[in-house]
Amino acid sequence: MPVSDPFAVMNTVGLVAFALVGATKAIREEFDLFGVTTVGLATAFAGGALRDVLVGRVPLALQSFGEVALALLGVAFAVGVGVVRDDADDHPLTAVADAVGLAAFATAGAIVATDHGLGAFGVVAVATINAVGGGVVADLLLDRAPFVLFEDFYASPAVLGGIAYVATSAVGAPARAAAIGCAGVVVLARIGALTYGWEIPTVHAFARDGRS
Amino acid sequence: MPVSDPFAVMNTVGLVAFALVGATKAIREEFDLFGVTTVGLATAFAGGALRDVLVGRVPLALQSFGEVALALLGVAFAVGVGVVRDDADDHPLTAVADAVGLAAFATAGAIVATDHGLGAFGVVAVATINAVGGGVVADLLLDRAPFVLFEDFYASPAVLGGIAYVATSAVGAPARAAAIGCAGVVVLARIGALTYGWEIPTVHAFARDGRS
Amino acid sequence: MPVSDPFAVMNTVGLVAFALVGATKAIREEFDLFGVTTVGLATAFAGGALRDVLVGRVPLALQSFGEVALALLGVAFAVGVGVVRDDADDHPLTAVADAVGLAAFATAGAIVATDHGLGAFGVVAVATINAVGGGVVADLLLDRAPFVLFEDFYASPAVLGGIAYVATSAVGAPARAAAIGCAGVVVLARIGALTYGWEIPTVHAFARDGRS
C-alpha cells in the first residue's frame, strides 16, 4: 500500500476502525464469539460492499484477503479490550474510532465514485452510503433502530465531507488534498456534534410561531 | 423529456410523488430538516436504485442531477405544506400521491425490465420492487415495521399492474398503451382497496370449516 | 437438469425447501394468501439474488421461470399443509426442511463464487450470504429481529460448510465431492446444534475469571 494512494490509506483506516467499533458493540450485547466476528466484519464491509455494487463491481471484500485480514485485526483488538474492560462500548475512544472510520469511509466512497465518473450528487451520495452503511447494518444486526443515524448528527458529517470533496476537486485540488479535506471535515463535524450537542432544526420548529 | 417517452413521464411523476410522501411522513415524526430531506430522497430513489442494481446498471439517481432536482422538488413541497399544516400525513391527498407514485414506479419498473429482456416473472417482480421499495425503506428509516405492506393491499396493486403490463404487451399493444394500462390498474386497485377496505383471505380462513 | 450438475441440484432443493419454510412461517402469522406467497418467494429468492448481485449478474430468479415454478411448488405445499395443520411452523419436519435448504443454498453459493473466481474468504462469505439471506429477509418481512440468526447456531453451520467446500476443493476434490461435503457439514452442524443445544462462548465468558 503506497502512502501516495489515498484510497488505500482511507480504506485501511476505515476497515480496522469500523471492525473494532462493530465488534465492541456486539461484545457489549453479549454476542458469542461467532456473532462478534460477524458483526465486526459486517460493520467493516457493509458500506464498501454497497458502494461497490452501486458502481457495478464485485465488492473488494470478496476478492481480497487483505481486506479480511484488516477487519479481523480490528475484531481481535476489540476482543482483547473486551476481556479486560466491561464498558468499552461507552469509552470516548470508541466514539473517536467511529468518527475516524466514518471519515475514512466517506473519503474512500468519494474517491471511488469520482473514479467511476459519477456527478456531484452521486459522489456525495456514495460517500455517505459508504460511511454510514456499516453503522446501519451493525444497528440492524444488534436489533437497534437504524434511524438513530438521524438523531446523532451522524450521516450529516459524511454529507458535508462529500460536499467538501466535490468542492475542492472542482477548484482543481489534487486527489490527495481533496481526500484530506473530506476526512478532516467529517472528523471535525462528528466530534464537534458529539462535544457540543449540535442539532438541526425541525420543520415544526419553523412552524411553531405561525401555528401556536 | 419528450412526452412520447413513457419511462421519463412515469419516472418524473414517481420521483416527485414519493419524495413528497416520504418527506411528509418524516415531518410528522418530527425528524430534523436533514432527516426529512434524507427520508424524502431515499423514498424517491430506493425502488429505482434496487431496480437498476438488479438489471445490472449504475442507479440513475447517482448519475443524473435531474433525478435529484425532481426529488428535492417533492421534499420542498412537503416542507411547505408541513409549515402550514400539522396533519398532512393523514390527509387523503397524501394517500392519493402515494398511489400515484406507486403506479408510476410500477410502470417505470416494468418498462426497464422489459427493455433488459427479462421474462414475464422478472417484469412483474421488478415492477413490484420498483414500486414498493421506496415505502419499505421509508418505513425502515422511520422505524415502522415494513410488513404493513401486506396488510394494506399495497404491494398487490403493483403486482396486478405488472401483470397488466405483461399481458397487454403480449397481445401486441404499443409500449405507451401498456404503460397507461399498468398505471391505471395500480391506481384503481390501490384507491379501491383504500376506499372499500378490500382484503385477501388467509389460509386459516379456508381451513376454518375443516378444523373447527 | 442433469444430476451431474451440482449447482442445479442444490438450487432446486434450496428453492423448494426455503419457499416451504417461509410460507409456513407466514401462514402461522396469519398473513393473507398474497403475503404467504410473497414471503415464500422472498425467502426462496433473497439469498440467491444477493449472491448474484454480489458476483455481478442479473438474479437467476428474474430470468428463469423454472426458479419461480419451484418456489411456487414449495408455497403450494406449505398452503396444503397449513389447511390441515395449525402448528406446522413448530413441527420438526419444518426445522429439517430449513436445515436442508440452508445446506443446499450454502453449497450453491460456494459453487457460484468459485466459478466467478473469488478467493477463499469470498467463497465462504457468498456461501453464508446465499444460505442465510432467505431467513433474514423472512424475519424482516415477519417483523422478527434478524439477529436470532446468531443465537440459533444458524449462520455458523453455513460458514463451516463454506470452509469445507474451500478445503476439499483445495486438496483437489472434484466439484461434486466438494458439494456433497459442504452440504453434509451444514446439515449435520445445524441438526446437531438443534438436537444438542450447542453454544459458542461469549467474550464475557472468557473474561469472567479475570474480572470477578
Given B145, B146, B150, which is nearest C31 (Cβ)? Answer: B150
* Interface pTM, i.e. ipTM: 0.81
Question: Over 70: is that where the pLDDT of B210 sits?
Answer: no
* Structural contact between residues B210 and C83, judged by C-beta atoms closer than 8 angstroms: yes
Contacts of C66 in chain B (CB under 8 A): none
Question: Is B197 touching C (CB cutoff 8 A)?
Answer: no
Query: What's B91's DSSP letter?
Result: S
CA–CA separation, A142 and A128 (whole Å)? 21
Question: Is B145 touching A (CB cutoff 8 A)?
Answer: no
pLDDT confidence tier of residue C62, bands split at 50, 70 and 90 = very high
* Structural contact between residues C49 and C61, judged by C-beta atoms closer than 8 angstroms: yes
Q: Which of A88-102, A152-166, A189-203 has the lowest mean pLDDT?
A: A189-203
In chain A, which residue's Cα lies nearest the Cα of B64?
A: A119
Contacts of B118 in chain C (CB under 8 A): 58, 62-63
Given B32, B58, B86, which is nearest A202 (Cβ)? Answer: B32
Q: Which of A80-84, A106-110, B161-165 has the lowest mean pLDDT?
A: A80-84
In chain A, which residue's Cα lies nearest the Cα of B76?
A: A203
C-alpha cell at A184: 478532516
Contacts of A68 in chain C (CB under 8 A): 121
CA–CA separation, C178 and C180 (whole Å)? 6
Q: Can you spell out the DSSP letters for C51-117?
A: HHHHTTS--HHHH-HHHHHHHHHHHHHHHHHHHH-S-GGGSHHHHHHHHHHHHHHHHHHHHHHHHTT
Is the CB of B65 less than 8 angstroms away from the CB of A201? Answer: no
pLDDT confidence tier of residue B142, bands split at 50, 70 and 90 = confident
Q: Which residues contact C132 (CB under 8 A, 6 or more apart)?
A: C47, C102, C149, C154, C155, C158
Question: Over 50: is that where the pLDDT of B205 sits?
Answer: yes
In chain B, which residue's Cα lies nearest the Cα of A58?
A: B56
- Which chains pack against A, by 3+ Cβ pairs within 8 A? B, C
pLDDT confidence tier of residue C1, bands split at 50, 70 and 90 = very low
3-state secondary structure (DSSP) of residue B123: helix
Question: Over 50: is that where the pLDDT of C212 sits?
Answer: no
- Please tell me the predicted confidence (pLDDT) of residue B88: 74
Question: Is B116 touching C (CB cutoff 8 A)?
Answer: yes
Is the CB of A202 less than 8 angstroms away from the CB of B33? Answer: yes
- Please tell me the predicted confidence (pLDDT) of residue B211: 47
Q: Which of A69, A142, A131, A54 shows the shortest CA–CA distance to A100? A: A131
Is the CB of A62 less than 8 angstroms away from the CB of C150? Answer: no
- Please tell me the predicted confidence (pLDDT) of residue A198: 81
Picking from B202, B206, B212 by the largest number of C CB atoms within 10 A of its own CB, the best residue to mutate is: B202
SS (H, E, C) chain A: CCCCCHHHHHHHHHHHHHHHHHHHHHHHCCCEHHHHHHHHHHHHHHHHHHHHHHCCCCCHHHHCHHHHHHHHHHHHHHHHHHHHCCCHHHCHHHHHHHHHHHHHHHHHHHHHHHHCCCCHHHHHHHHHHHHHHHHHHHHHHCCCCCCHHHHCCCHHHHHHHHHHHHHHHHCCCCHHHHHHHHHHHHHHHHHHHHHHCCCCCEHHHHHHHHHC
Given C113, C121, C200, which is nearest A65 (Cβ)? Answer: C121
Given C156, C200, C207, which is nearest A83 (Cβ)? Answer: C207
pLDDT in tens, B65-119: 899 999 999 999 999 998 888 777 778 889 999 999 999 999 999 999 999 999 9
Residue A171 identity (one-letter amino acid): V
Q: Tell me the torsion sign for CA atoms A7, A9, A15, A17.
A: negative
Q: Which of C37, C19, C36, C15 shows the shortest CA–CA distance to C27? A: C36
Residue A28 identity (one-letter amino acid): R
CA–CA separation, B165 and C73 (whole Å)? 25
Is the CB of B32 less than 8 angstroms away from the CB of A207? Answer: no
Question: Over 60: is that where the pLDDT of A209 sits?
Answer: no
Backbone phi, then psi, for C139, in 5-degree steps?
-60, -40
Is the CB of B155 less than 8 angstroms away from the CB of C34? Answer: yes
Given B113, B146, B200, which is nearest C32 (Cβ)? Answer: B200
- The neighbouring-strand residues paired with A202 are B32
